[in-house]
Copies of this chain bind each other. A is one copy, B any other.
Amino acid sequence: MPLSREKIAATAIRLADAHGLDGLSLRKIAKELGVGPMRLYDYVINKSELLDLMVDVVYARIAEVGQRPGWRDTVLAIAHATRDAALDHEWFSDVLGGRPHLGPHALAVGEATAAALSAAPGVRDIGDLQRAVGALNAFVIGSVRREVTERRTARSTGTDEAAFQASLGPYLTRMLRTGRYPTVARLVIDGAHLNAEETFNHNLTTILDGITSRPPT
């Protein structure tokens, strides 16, 4: 079974899922494939291109959600698929928005969202569309990044109260007890029991409403 770009990308994704993007190296990928490190360069220009490959594989999964009847359902489906993909492949959130996504499947996803948004009320010309796409993408990128980061710190510190107090506690509780950050303290103490997906969906709805309900200029 010969090597191929697809095979390399697949095992790279597996390794990145397991050990993060920092723990990913061409040498480990090659070893996993039972091959010398330099062998990979016959299929890939450099590590950056390999990353682009991995990213586009994930976009392929996102693109699978396809078209829905209404523009709003389409946008919601794509946004949720992006979130799901990032939760499955946390490294994906590390590169979200950090490099141009120009792979064929990434373009397909972009096309689907742009086409859907162009059918939304309140989007009248290209300028409107450009802004709407920008706002939506920005929100999705930021949300997903934030959620993945929270999940990582929760995992590294331990979810339960005790471990949290033990690791971040000494510093954070001391900080919050200074009284200089009362609102943040309230958020940290009283909050945190919100369902992440619901929050995502709620804010997504808010933004879509904001886009569609803009008054005619």
Contact = CB atoms under 8 A, between A and B. Distances in A.
Contacts of A33: none
Contacts of A118: 183
B153 A146 contact: no
A135 B172 contact: no
A180 B141 contact: no
Interface string A119-160: 000000011011101110111111101100110010000000
A104 interface: yes
Interface stretch (A5-13, A38-46, A105-113): A105-113
A182 B114 CA distance: 10
A55 to B, nearest CB: 13
Nearest to A101: B149
Interface string A60-72: 0000000000000
Interface residues of A, number: 58
A140 B139 CA distance: 8
A155 to B, nearest CB: 13
A191 B207 CA distance: 22
Interface of A: 94, 96-100, 102, 104, 107-108, 110-111, 114-115, 118, 126-127, 129-131, 133-135, 137-143, 145-146, 149-150, 153, 168, 171-172, 175, 180-184, 186-187, 190-191, 194, 199, 202-203, 206-207, 209-211, 214
